[in-house]
Amino acid sequence: MRSIKKYTLKNPLEFKNKLLYWAQQFEDVVWLDSNQYSQRYSSYDAVLAVDTFTSVKTDYQNGFDALKEYQEQTADWIFGYLSYDLKNDTESLTSNNFDGLHFPDLYFFQPKKLFLLKENVLEIQYLRMVDDEIVEDFDTILSIYQEDKGQPCGKVKISLRITKDVYKSKVSKMLEHIHRGDIYEANFCQEFFAKGSCIDPLQTYHHLNDISKPPFATFFKMNHHYLLSASPERYIRKEGFKIISQPIKGTAKRSLNPKDDQQLIENLKNDPKERSENVMIVDLVRNDLSRTAAQGSVKVEELCEVYSFEQVHQMISTVVSKINKNTSPIDVLKSTFPMGSMTGAPKISAMQIIEELEVSKRGLYSGAMGYFTPNGDFDFNVVIRSILYNKEEEYISYTVGGAITAKSDPDKEYEECLLKAKAMREVLEGV
């Protein structure tokens, strides 16, 4: 059981910065921020979970079973992530590529201390064992007047895991699979990394978030592992018996000139390649949702709608379904994971080819970060546009990719990767 106390804030934006700064004292931190982005499906503007009471950490083997047992036994708020490599738990697949980050495949924790912010109302939920600290903690957060900028780490030098020529040759091999009919589409990714380097995670997150202002921003800390995410994409959400999935496929750059920017939106809306990418993934998501859906309940609410973010325009679709009351929330995740926007179609064949052609283990990248509520609702983003950091091993990484279809041009695909990498590169290298 949790004790609940509510406060009305005079300056929610200022309070958010203080709250995240205050959270840095804890070993486990999940911070989720919508950046005031107006969404149809949304519960809070920001959420902070800290101070672990219980947790589950495992590799992919029986990962979803372990999560189901933990979620059902806890029957409380739990926060954490699903790494891409949990695909090996749902299908006969492997992950043998290089891994410089070494995140566990699955991790969730039950926080003693929880903060839920909506507009100017802050709801604090503490487990009873620490509820005598609510007022003191709130006063401490309010009294923070100066943020520590952290220790300077020097400039980060980013390296490419594969060269442009190698990338193009691998895309060409992907196209061979498509032309043979092995797959229709696959998401192919490449890693950018720095070894023997350090960053200040909080300041790096703030910089990335200020540049991007995405609706699914995340700061995650698990001891020496960090995720600093500017994700624009929701993977899946559960509201009662309703399931919502919002895949992104289709990207265009922004322009400072309003007229040119509007033209870029129109071009994206009417681009046959981008639309076909999106529609293929919508079909895949519909199929995934149908595994747990009540008969006839899978519907496409939005198809190929263009949404604008600070760095890019994105084409987003919304697919929904209804589940029966006896359907486990974990079964919904297991039957849809990994998300179609980061795999391809057919899904299993695409994942096999991805593993063959990519050279880095994806790990948390293209996985999902989010939470469960006590009644079994959930909300998860897609871990993209993100910086991953292993502080102990001094390894920094970000990965970008794109959908390869029959109409893909290797040079243009590489340009799209660089566009998606722009914010992370600017934050780390200052260019």
Catalytically active residues are: 233, 249
Paired sense of beta strands 46-58 and 386-390, if any: unpaired
Distance spanning both ends of the chain, measured CA to CA: 49
Q: Is 241 exposed, middle or buried (0-12, 13-18, 19+ CB in 10 A)?
A: middle
Cα separation, 125 vs 26, whole angstroms: 17
* Residue 185 · residue 405 · CB < 8 Å: yes
Preceding peptide of 338 cis, ω within 30°: yes
Q: Is 324 exposed, middle or buried (0-12, 13-18, 19+ CB in 10 A)?
A: exposed
Q: Is 428 exposed, middle or buried (0-12, 13-18, 19+ CB in 10 A)?
A: buried
The DSSP element (H or E) to which 12 belongs, if any, is helix 12-23
Cα separation, 420 vs 162, whole angstroms: 17
Amino acid identity of residue 76, one-letter, is: D
